[in-house]
A and B are shown apart, each in its own frame.
Chain A
Amino acid sequence: MSKLLRHTPVEITERQALSINPAKTCQPIGAMYASLGIHGCLPHSHGSQGCCAYHRSTLTRHYKEPISAGTSSFTEGSSVFGGQSNLLAAIQNMFTVYEPEVIAVHTTCLSETIGDDVPQIVDKADKEGKIPAGKHVISASTPSYVGSHVTGFANMVKGMIKGLAQPKTKPNGKVNILPGYVEPADMAEVKRLARMMGVKTICIPDTSGVTNGPLTGEFKMYPDGGVTVAELQDCSNSKGTIAMGFWASADGARYLDTEYKVPCSILELPIGLGCTDAYVDALRTIAGAAVPKEIEFERGQLVDMISDYHQYFYRKKVALVGDPDQLIALTDFLVSLDMLPIHIVTGTPAGKRFTSKIEEITRDIGYKVNVREAGDMFLFHQWIKQDTPDLIIGNTYAKYIARDEDIPLVRHGFPIVDRVGHQYFPTTGYRGGMRLIEKIVDALLSRKERDAPVETFELVF
């Protein structure tokens, strides 16, 4: 079979000037996704119209849902004289025609570089009466030449808290949940677990019901889901914040802590057994209640499932590519399954914090582990050529490598543009862990069966 990525050599040379086959994308799309998690919010891209079109297309391909967002439609003129008049006109147009509750403006490389001061422009819009009473405009700075889609998400999460949270009044008895850059189904799952623990939550943001809505025969620009403006205004009155995923959630949680004295715990994403335990434990501490039988039951089912198939996990090598928060939790889960996560690449510039954490988790597996932050899929592929794993976990783009090297692929991460399910079924929580086990076992055993000669082709596993 001819190789699609035949241009990838095995030998690795250090590259400083070049990214090949990225394992990240730019900040604004993360900000747009986060904004969709506010009810009645219209995201707005302050830049050229291509940025907005690309983000909407990519999110549409990933979620198979309509994604609406406005753009300042920069022209040559606005790039020279500044985008203020475009943004002012856009704010007025959008409130008049699309009637959102909130407009969430994120910047782009273009508007950042020409020096547009978005908060100042929003102030001006307010003073000029372009923001109707009871409506809001929030913003985040997300130049594309800094960070990645993950930090763009984090910046907008912080932006929505900063822009909407009101000074403390009276305690609301709730817990803020910052679920991280995860799927709508995952956000629903972390809320469900909290509900089972008897904890009332404000989920910031919450795309469940927004980017995985039902077919109703109507096109709704603002689907029913999302954290409401009232909830965001009230999040300063919560008794605590559980932030999941350092890169996607820590900034927002810390802001709430310093600004409104809402104490936070920053956890890993609750993917897999250990990390979900940590989340449940945090909920237990806050609720001051015992873990209910129903949750213990789900946990027991996950452990049961692992025990039933543990022999097939034993020392299977896995290569992972994706976002830093996901990779840490997944690596932890794989190690607990007795698997060997050997190549781990994130495109996000995540620094030593990331690599040290991975090294710490994999310290005792007895196998050389390659880990890279600010890497790309070209390097990932080269590592795979040098030491071939039994399984790849990554987004849709990993399928080129999977095909060329003939390695099974479990899709996880962003974007997934060629399969269905990630919108509707979580990989967080114990049930999410079960879904991951199902996928991994299916991938490994399907491969075993495909390759088995007649005489060793088995019925029962």
Chain B
Amino acid sequence: MTDHATPITPVIFEERADQIHVTGPATGAGETGAASAFDLACNRPSLAGAVSQRACTFCGSRVVLYPIADALHLVHGPIGCAAYTWDIRGAMSSGPELHRLSFSTDLQERDVIFGGETKLYKALVELIDRHQPKAAFVYSTCIVGIIGDDIQAVCKKVSEEKSLPVLPVQSEGFKGNKRAGYEAACKAMAQLAGTADVSDVSPLSINILGDFNLAGEIWVIRDYYERMGLQVVATITGDGRVDAIRRCHGAALNLVQCNGATQPFAKLMQEKYGQPYLRVSYFGIEDMAQALYDVAEFFKDKDPAIMDRARAIVAEEVGALLPKLREFRRDLEGKKAAIYVGGAFKAFSLIKAFRHLGMQVALVGSQTGTKEDYEELAAICDPGTIIVDDSNPLELSAFIKEKDVDIFVGGVKERPIAYKLGIGFCDHNHERKECLEGFVGMYNFALEVHRTVTSPVWRFMPRRAAKAAAIANCTEATI
């Protein structure tokens, strides 16, 4: 049987050596030629030919904007770009569902030769007439960038004719990775902000940025802040509405989660309106509590009682949560985890969350982390933890086996790899089916980890079955 996964050294491109780091006194993987002094190279294009887990600019823009439920989202390009992003994320809406339809100009060979502007114009007019959206986003794709359609001009024309915002999103796929797409999305959204009346917005008000309402998560977070006495002006973009975004400049504070996706928007808002922002995470107990305390701290001069309300929420929620977590911890103590996620911010929270379950993180990596992210990661990880940027399946599986982990946390492409290796998996990405944010999210996360790590199915996996048999034989021999 040929096994392409076992040897570790050959699975790493020499050029990638400085995208891998091992913390502290290195054990095992330290001899892989990995970056020894800490200076992880990141946010650079993937190597040609690497089986990278990364996506493109269009993908980044699409995931950020698509949860805006009463906007029209038209993909200007061949059918694939629209087909692969059709309702892909499970971003929930409490009202309109227009975002869950897939609209595409479905460019054909003829359009590539003669240009697709007329088609785009016709498509926009027809869709706006039929669906009466509050705004329209038009996504540019690779091909549109190459044939040179002037989507700005078409958007401007339709916007004037139909009297609604029609916003071009410059998300040509080849422009870079998802991060470039986040920026294009934020630029488009920034054109909406500041275009509606904010006279009735409370001085005690916030926008929630960087949450996409997967499994209803933004409803949980919104509820905490409302219980603290704050007005939530806009949720960006989970359960998003165009009119709310138009008013978002009126809020006193922006809360930014998932720094990659919406931080550019927060920065634009800060520059233009002097609107301050705070970086927060809603994953795990400490981060969630901190997210409430930081906001209370910000508003304490305007509302002296707000900190008490925040403390009361934390006390109530954590009081109910901790006994439940202890139950899970009994089974999970000492188990090992590997984390490979889109943005590094999520990794921080996950490391802390695993500690609550008595688990150790042996491998952590991301697709789009920055240098600062990785430095921060290295600081909080246990010695011997492997840190990787923009990894690939061979690398990941080799590290997972070397560290003998019990659970892998990743996205859609990593799930079957984990299962093939005979270990548990938790989707912390588009396909999460449970709310993982907030205090209730920590419970759900623990439940999900417990469900997969303790599943009896792994007993049937040959490696573990052989191990169990060996132990049984050994015991027999001793007797």
Residues in chain A within 8 A of chain B (CB atoms): 4-7, 9, 13, 15-22, 24-26, 28-29, 42, 44, 47-58, 60-61, 63-76, 78-79, 86-87, 89-94, 97-99, 108-110, 113-114, 143-146, 148, 213, 215-222, 347, 378, 397, 400
Contact = CB atoms under 8 A, between A and B. Distances in A.
Contacts of A347: 79
A15 B126 contact: yes
A17 B4 contact: no
B175 A76 contact: yes
A28 B80 CA distance: 9
A260 B393 CA distance: 39
Most buried by B among A53, A64, A68, A220: A53
A53 B462 contact: no
A97 B394 contact: yes
Contact of B394 (A15, A79, A213, A221): A221
25 contacts: A7-B97, A17-B122, A19-B102, A20-B101, A22-B86, A22-B102, A50-B59, A54-B84, A56-B413, A57-B84, A60-B416, A66-B417, A70-B48, A73-B46, A73-B52, A86-B48, A92-B49, A108-B142, A145-B112, A146-B109, A215-B422, A218-B421, A221-B4, A347-B79, A400-B100
Interface stretch (B5-13, B263-271, B274-282): B5-13
A70 B13 CA distance: 14
A61 B143 contact: no
A86 B45 CA distance: 12
B54 interface: yes
Contact of A114 (B98, B130, B146): B146
Given A21-B102, A22-B106, A25-B79, A219 B123 contact: no
A58 B59 CA distance: 14
B116 to A, nearest CB: 9
A94 B49 CA distance: 6
B15 to A, nearest CB: 9
B351 to A, nearest CB: 24
Most buried by B among A72, A218, A221: A218
B104 A219 contact: no
A172 B138 CA distance: 56
Interface in B2-40: 2-5, 10-13
Given A4-B100, A146-B108, A24 B412 contact: no
Given A60-B412, A110-B146, A18 B126 contact: yes
Given A7-B131, A97-B12, 7 more contacts: A7-B130, A47-B174, A50-B173, A60-B416, A66-B416, A68-B393, A145-B111
Interface residues of B, number: 85
Given A79-B174, A108-B142, A53 B56 contact: yes
Contacts of B417: 66, 219
Contacts of B120: 17
B393 A66 contact: yes
Nearest to A17: B122
Contact of B109 (A65, A74, A143, A220): A143
A63 B147 CA distance: 35
Interface string B107-145: 111011000001111110011001100000000011101
Interface string B49-79: 1111111111100000000000000000111
B355 interface: no
B176 interface: yes
Most buried by B among A60, A78, A145, A378: A145
B156 interface: no
A50 B145 contact: no
Given A44-B49, A75-B45, A93-B48, A217 B142 contact: no
B83 interface: yes
A64 B416 contact: yes
Given A74-B174, A114-B146, A217 B102 contact: no
Nearest to A114: B146
A108 B121 CA distance: 25
B53 A20 contact: no
Contact of B83 (A26, A66, A71): A26
B173 A18 contact: no
Contact of B143 (A55, A109, A400): A109
A73 B52 CA distance: 9
B79 A93 contact: no
A388 to B, nearest CB: 21
Given A19-B79, A25-B84, A97 B463 contact: no
8 closest Cβ pairs, A-B complex: A50-B56, A26-B80, A90-B49, A93-B49, A144-B78, A17-B122, A19-B106, A48-B173
A251 B419 CA distance: 37
B85 to A, nearest CB: 8
Nearest to B118: A17
A21 B101 CA distance: 6
Contact of B461 (A78, A87, A215): A215
Contacts of B13: 93, 97
B44 to A, nearest CB: 10
Contacts of A20: 101-104
B177 interface: yes
Interface string B311-345: 00000000000000000000000000000000000
A68 B55 contact: no
Contacts of A52: 52
Contacts of B101: 5, 7, 20-21, 378
Contacts of B104: 18-20, 22
B174 A93 contact: no
A221 B51 CA distance: 11
Contacts of B222: none
Given A73-B50, A144-B80, A219 B174 contact: no
A56 B175 CA distance: 20
Given A54-B59, A109-B143, A7 B397 contact: no
B55 A49 contact: yes
Nearest to A86: B48
Nearest to A113: B146
B127 A18 contact: yes
B84 A49 contact: no
A251 to B, nearest CB: 18
B80 A76 contact: no
B82 interface: yes
Contacts of A22: 79, 82-83, 86, 102, 104, 106
Contacts of A9: 130
Contacts of A53: 52-56, 59, 413
Interface string B227-245: 0000000000000000000
A31 to B, nearest CB: 12
Interface string B144-183: 0111000000000000000000000000011111000000
Nearest to A94: B49
A224 to B, nearest CB: 9
Contact of A216 (B11, B123, B127, B420): B420
Contacts of A94: 49
B56 to A, nearest CB: 2
Contacts of B111: 145
